[in-house]
Amino acid sequence: MSIGDREDIIERIIAIMALDNMETMEEALKEANPHEIARALYYMESDDRERLLNLLPLEESGEVLTILRDIDEEEQAQTQKSVIYDIEEIPEPDIGYDHEIEYKEYEWLNIVNPTPEDQKNLSEELNIPLDFLASPMDTDERSRVEVEGKNILVIIRTPYFDEGNDIQYITTPLGMIFTDDMILTVSANRNDVIQAFARGRMKSLSTVSRTRFLLQVFSAIALIYLDYLKQINKQTSLAEDKLQKSMKNQVMIELLNLEKSLVYFATSLRSNEIVLDRIHRTKILDIDTDDMDLLEDVLVENKQAIDMTNIHSDILSGMMDAFASVISNNLNRMLKFLTTVTIILTFPTWVVSVYGMNIKLPFQESSYAFAIVMGVSVILSTLGGIIFIRHKSF
């Protein structure tokens, strides 16, 4: 397996832990070796480390801890610490560049749900256009790139899990503002992607390159989209099992909400792809050779997320159409059965109605009149039932 594939496994373990999906974690650990698990643990908090180690066999966990201690010692000896200004205490970046280009360190300020007054103060203090700070507050804001002077605004749609909402998986805008010496991320709520970085569950963001910062965020977004798609797929399977047992409207509504989530995901991913393509073509940000390789990787990851979203959407749409057809077929069968029973019951009703008329009728003077009438009714109903059975109307 190539080095790139091994790094993907590490990032996958970190992303799964960020989403707290232990079932998927067990599958990922089977593919990883002790060195990769130790590298993933390096970026996690102590609580998450303990949870992950509990999933490993005793012997393997001891080996992983030994490797982790070696990594800690090596990183402490080689990594230069830098200060990042962040409201949510973003971890210090891991600077591992070896370029001929000389990079400078940018300050990173993460802002969550600023009030209009906060926006005005930041705009005046940092000399940033006010609409750059206000635009990400609009939940319907589309992905785009805007340049004003030396300031650059990049808005992208990120996945967001809202447990209290009927539609739990939605998307929300994340604004990234680049100035001469600062990087700002602005969102209307606690962004799932930024939180994953803030808690150390993904590789620390580099602030020595604005382009690398942007591409790392895009890469993390694609990974979280893919993980949320897996969760949507599991919920779809559970809903399908419920529908097979009972055709309830509530289950159909759950499937409809999941389908809406997939529509949101597909729309947002395509708009993000347009932003990536513009950055690629226009060179709004300086892109060196290494960043160009990362950009191509991000384009591939975003394309993969789009394809997976379309596949899940097609499967869900087909399943809902199939269940709708089943429900309609069951209704038709029920109506057919009731119609057949109604026709059979018409024969005794007709006979009794005839003998209920106040005119002279056959057998009305006979003591067996009632038995004769009932017998004729039963015979006619039986014949009708036999005819319908032969025509498979039941």
Residue 382 included in any domain: yes
Which amino acid is located at 70 in the chain?
D
pLDDT tens across 315-358, in order?
A: 888 888 887 787 788 788 888 888 888 888 888 888 878 877 77
Residue 141 included in any domain: no
| DSSP assigned state of 56 | S
pLDDT tens across 62-91, in order?
A: 777 778 777 766 655 543 333 333 334 444
The pLDDT of residue 153: 92
* Predicted TM-score of the model (pTM): 0.61
**Dihedrals phi, psi of 206, to nearest 5 degrees:** -90, 135
Residue 61 included in any domain: yes
Neighbours of 313 (CB within 10 A): 19
List the domain range (segments joined by +) for residue 10.
3-78
Residue where the block lists tokens 């009728």:
361
What CA–CA distance (Å, rounded) separates 42 from 112?
Answer: 27
Q: Which of 20, 46, 78 is the last residue of a domain?
A: 78
Of 188-202, 216-230, 264-278, the least confident: 188-202
What's the rounded mean pLDDT across residues 90-104?
A: 40
The pLDDT of residue 85: 35
8 A C-beta contact, residue 193 and residue 221: yes
Residue 35 included in any domain: yes
Kindly indicate the confidence band of residue 176, based on its pLDDT and cuts at 50, 70 and 90.
very high
Q: Is the pLDDT of residue 362 over 50?
A: yes
Residue 259 included in any domain: no
Q: Is the pLDDT of residue 174 over 90?
A: yes
Q: Which of 22, 46, 78 is the last residue of a domain?
A: 78
Give the sheet arrangement for strand 151-161, strand by strand: 107-112, 182-187, 169-178, 151-161, 144-148
Mean pLDDT, the chain, as a whole number?
79
The pLDDT of residue 281: 81
CATH code assigned at 352: 1.20.58
